[in-house]
Amino acid sequence: MFKLLSTSLIISLTLTLSAAETTAPKPKPKLWSLQPLTRPTVPQGLTKSDNPIDAFLAAKHKENGVTPVGPADKLTLLRRLSFDLVGLPPTPAEQDAFLADNSPDAYEKLIDRLLANEQHGVRWARHWLDVLRYADLDGLDGSVMPAAPGIHNWRDWMISALNQDLSFDKFVRAQLLGNRNSGRVLTSTGGRRSRGAANPQDQFALGFLARGAITNSNKDQNLAFAAVETISTAFMGMTVACAQCHDHRFDPITQADYYGMKSLFDPLVLRTVPLASAADIQANGDAMEAYRSKSEPLDDAIEKLTAPFHKKLFDERVSLLPPDVQAIVNKPENKRTVAEQKIFDDYYPVLRIDDGKMKEIMPKDVIAEFDALNKKRRALKRPLSLPVNVVVEEDRLKLNEPSYILTSGDPMRPEKDKPVKPSFPFKPEDVDFRDGRREGFVDWLTAKENTLFARVAINRIWGWHFGEAIHKSTSDFGMLGGRPSNQPLLDYLASEFVAHGYSMKWLHRLILTSDAYKMSSASADKSANYDADPNNTYLWHFRLKRLEAEPLWDSILSSAGNLDLTVGGRSFQAVTPDSKQSIFLPADGTFESRKNRRGIYMARGYIPSTEVMSNFLQTFDVDDGRTPCPMRAQTITAPQALYTMNGELVERASIALSEKLAKESGDDVKTAVDLAYRKALGRKPTAGELDRTLTYLGKDQANLKGLGWLLYNLDEFLFVK
């Protein structure tokens, strides 16, 4: 259970490698993941199950001498499925209904019901958002994430897309192009129709690319770099980012491939789109005008008052500068060359005159007037800005600028002798870039001939269902990633995924109806299996899974009846941000005030100067979205124990649960215990448990609060069997 690391870490040493090492062309090794995808034949006669998954697994079981354990009981399956598909524990009513349904397809109906629940998208979006680096805030060294004000729209788009079972190719296409429709059709006369119009909501999917931009001093920094790294890891399973500084040392990816791929995104710029209605825009504009009509006269008065003092100090400082710089500073702005303006800007810290400095040379009466004006100015409240969404679009000028290799990583230092053309790793000869650079790439990426796309996708989905993927390094299908434990199964699922139109819900159904998924997680007394396969690589029992942070949060609140299940909207902050850092934080109104929403809505991200991630998220292994997180770590630590032993969340939930229990049990303690177990663990207590719990409760109803505490601290609460 060692912390799973982003495979991008692998590139660390590249920084010290020189470009000289990168020139020799490499023979392309035979990487398994680049071999064409063909549908393997389903092994016959090895299992009673008619699900092909079980047949492929059975072949490996036989080969490795392990015997799969039997199925889990009905309530275990219900809880497993509920957490897996909607991230919530099953309610007592759902337990009753499932137990009562004795029809042969009760289990299949349950899957359908959960897949149709809108909370399914909420659960599964979190998986993909981990891989695609969702963050509410990001920035280094005073830089900010320009997309922050509307970034939750991307998350909400994804939730909706997953709920609608948007096919995986369109799911990816929309996030790369802002348009799920490919729509290119050859007409009978040999002509060519251009792409179909985008569905309006797909602009929100562009939050994925916009999120990558980190702006510092108005320089667009790493949108394109972030796009290459995230897209290649997430959808190609390749650590293309290694080639940022040199040709990939292990995989057939060159530095030219990297910068060719980067050039797909080089022309992108951010555009801020207002999301308000016409009436709101009008009203906000009017309010702004009213504000200006008051603020501008005050600004003018302040400027007039300070002008002589400003000039005196400014002239003094200019006189200290070297003569050539003085000449530049004294030129009118419109007469300065670009280079001269840069020099002028460089001297800004010297030439900036602070209020404090001016006050030092002001007479007393002027200071009083100055202070009075400033007080009035500060009293004016600027109207709140309207909601906006940030998208990316191609800039026509940038589209015509050539792209270069940037070994240094610094956009200001392109290697002009090394221009690159739009390209990408493994690009075939005949990619059609006529509709656009990204369009050409996405057509290739999502094509059924791409050997990586479906394999990487189904492997991730499998991993999220089972806790470990068929190919364990879900983000590295390269030379260092090892080999899949069951490639025929991987290839079968990948080719069927393509054949079924990339339907993720189809894939979920196939996986979830396998005997493998229904196996018990108990592994005791199976020493022969342990000897043969101690790590359960060939899946002879279901893997016990620790709940991730969000389902744990949801589970505590939900069993206490306190969870707000609203889908969509702004994130809430579980940490109170340091007000000193307000310049790096988004404006008022960016965050949600309700704090009992589902865990996916808890703000996350990385700012070096202030904590964004709550203690809860950090304690339970949530990454900050700076690098793609393929699988969550599942640590077990003492701070986690402290959190559930003494934390406020558990305290509040225990009280809420005890009140509910008292009400719903009609003050019958036995009924209360029964209900509590069903709410928290999805099953009734055993006779022994009931006995032990009743002993604890005694005659004191006040102990019902302690009952909640007990349940939230049980190992079984934190784990999915």
| Touching another protein, residues 503-522 (CB under 8 A) | 521-522
With beta carbons less than 8 A apart as the criterion, state whether 645 and 717 touch.
no
Tokens of 477: 């299908």
Decide: is 483 part of the binding site for another protein (CB under 8 A). no
Decide: is 341 part of the binding site for another protein (CB under 8 A). no
Decide: is 371 part of the binding site for another protein (CB under 8 A). no
Nearest to 137 by CA among 611, 470, 632, 510: 611
Tokens of 55: 């047949």
Among residues 281, 327, 350, 367, which is the contact residue for another protein, using CB under 8 A? 350
Decide: is 374 part of the binding site for another protein (CB under 8 A). no
| For another protein, the closer CB: 201 or 713 | 713
Scanning residues 242 to 301, which ones bind another protein (CB under 8 A)?
250
| For another protein, the closer CB: 392 or 680 | 680
Among residues 87, 89, 647, 682, which is the contact residue for another protein, using CB under 8 A? 647
| For another protein, the closer CB: 281 or 642 | 642
Q: What is the dihedral of CA 139, 160, 82, 636, to 10 degrees?
A: -10
Scanning residues 668 to 697, which ones bind another protein (CB under 8 A)?
686, 688-689, 692-693, 695-696
Tokens of 431: 């990619």
Decide: is 343 part of the binding site for another protein (CB under 8 A). yes
With beta carbons less than 8 A apart as the criterion, state whether 266 and 506 touch.
no
Nearest to 541 by CA among 559, 524, 560: 524
In order, the DSSP letters of 184-212 are -EE-TTS-EE-PPPPPTTHHHHTHHHHTT
In order, the DSSP letters of 56-124 are HHHHHHHHHT-----BPPHHHHHHHHHHHHHSSPPPHHHHHHHHH--STTHHHHHHHHHHHSTHHHHHH
Scanning residues 26 to 55, which ones bind another protein (CB under 8 A)?
none
CB of 458 to another protein, least distance (A): 23
CB of 59 to another protein, least distance (A): 25
Residue 384 CA to residue 589 CA, distance in Å, equals 8
Instruction: Tell me, by CB under 8 A, how many residues bind another protein.
Output: 91
| For another protein, the closer CB: 32 or 347 | 347
Decide: is 641 part of the binding site for another protein (CB under 8 A). yes
- Binding map of another protein across residues 562-581, x = CB under 8 A, - = no contact: ----------------x-xx
Residue 93 CA to residue 107 CA, distance in Å, equals 16
Tokens of 382: 């600027």
Decide: is 15 part of the binding site for another protein (CB under 8 A). yes
Among residues 333, 524, 576, 699, which is the contact residue for another protein, using CB under 8 A? 524
Among residues 608, 663, 670, 671, which is the contact residue for another protein, using CB under 8 A? 608
- Binding map of another protein across residues 444-473, x = CB under 8 A, - = no contact: -----------------------------x
CB of 700 to another protein, least distance (A): 10
Residue 116 CA to residue 451 CA, distance in Å, equals 31
With beta carbons less than 8 A apart as the criterion, state whether 157 and 205 touch.
yes
| For another protein, the closer CB: 88 or 612 | 612
Scanning residues 310 to 329, which ones bind another protein (CB under 8 A)?
317, 320-322, 325
| For another protein, the closer CB: 175 or 239 | 239
| CA dihedral over 462, 466, 472, 473, signed as positive or negative | positive
Residue 117 CA to residue 160 CA, distance in Å, equals 11
Of the listed pieces 130-138, 446-454, 553-561, 631-639, which binds another protein according to CB under 8 A? 631-639
| For another protein, the closer CB: 445 or 649 | 649
| For another protein, the closer CB: 42 or 321 | 321
| For another protein, the closer CB: 20 or 687 | 687
Nearest to 446 by CA among 181, 129, 164, 130: 181
Among residues 251, 476, 515, 548, which is the contact residue for another protein, using CB under 8 A? 476
Decide: is 18 part of the binding site for another protein (CB under 8 A). no
| For another protein, the closer CB: 666 or 688 | 688
Scanning residues 173 to 202, which ones bind another protein (CB under 8 A)?
none
Decide: is 640 part of the binding site for another protein (CB under 8 A). yes
CB of 615 to another protein, least distance (A): 5
Nearest to 628 by CA among 131, 124, 7: 131
**What residues does 71 pair with on adjacent strands?**
519
| For another protein, the closer CB: 366 or 575 | 575
Of the listed pieces 8-16, 434-442, 558-566, 660-668, which binds another protein according to CB under 8 A? 8-16
Of the listed pieces 91-99, 285-293, 339-347, 507-515, which binds another protein according to CB under 8 A? 339-347
CB of 529 to another protein, least distance (A): 10
User: What is the biggest distance separating any 2 CA atoms in the chain, rounded to whole angstroms?
Assistant: 99
End-to-end Cα distance, the chain: 17
Among residues 185, 368, 528, 636, which is the contact residue for another protein, using CB under 8 A? 636
The C-alpha R_g of the chain, in whole angstroms, comes to: 30
Among residues 289, 299, 315, 346, which is the contact residue for another protein, using CB under 8 A? 346
Q: Identify the H or E element spanning 274.
A: strand 268-274
Of the listed pieces 7-15, 457-465, 489-497, 661-669, which binds another protein according to CB under 8 A? 7-15
Decide: is 118 part of the binding site for another protein (CB under 8 A). no
| For another protein, the closer CB: 1 or 24 | 1
Among residues 621, 628, 653, 679, which is the contact residue for another protein, using CB under 8 A? 621
Residue 500 CA to residue 493 CA, distance in Å, equals 10
Of the listed pieces 79-87, 385-393, 458-466, 642-650, which binds another protein according to CB under 8 A? 642-650
Decide: is 204 part of the binding site for another protein (CB under 8 A). no
Residue found by looking up tokens 């509590």 in the block? 676
Scanning residues 391 to 450, which ones bind another protein (CB under 8 A)?
none
Scanning residues 528 to 557, which ones bind another protein (CB under 8 A)?
530, 544, 546
Q: CB 170: neighbour CB atoms within 10 A?
A: 20
446 burial via Cβ count (<10 Å: 0-12, 13-18, 19+)? buried
Scanning residues 127 to 166, which ones bind another protein (CB under 8 A)?
140-142
Decide: is 637 part of the binding site for another protein (CB under 8 A). yes
CB of 240 to another protein, least distance (A): 15
In order, the DSSP letters of 29-55 are ---GGGS----PPPP-SS-S--SHHHH
Q: Give the pairing type, strands 545-546 and 719-720.
A: antiparallel
CB of 69 to another protein, least distance (A): 12
| For another protein, the closer CB: 34 or 72 | 72
Residue 156 CA to residue 364 CA, distance in Å, equals 57
In order, the DSSP letters of 658-687 are HHHHHHHTTT-HHHHHHHHHHHHHSSPPPH
CA 721 to chain centre: 26
Q: What is the DSSP letter of 539?
A: -
Among residues 648, 666, 687, 699, which is the contact residue for another protein, using CB under 8 A? 648
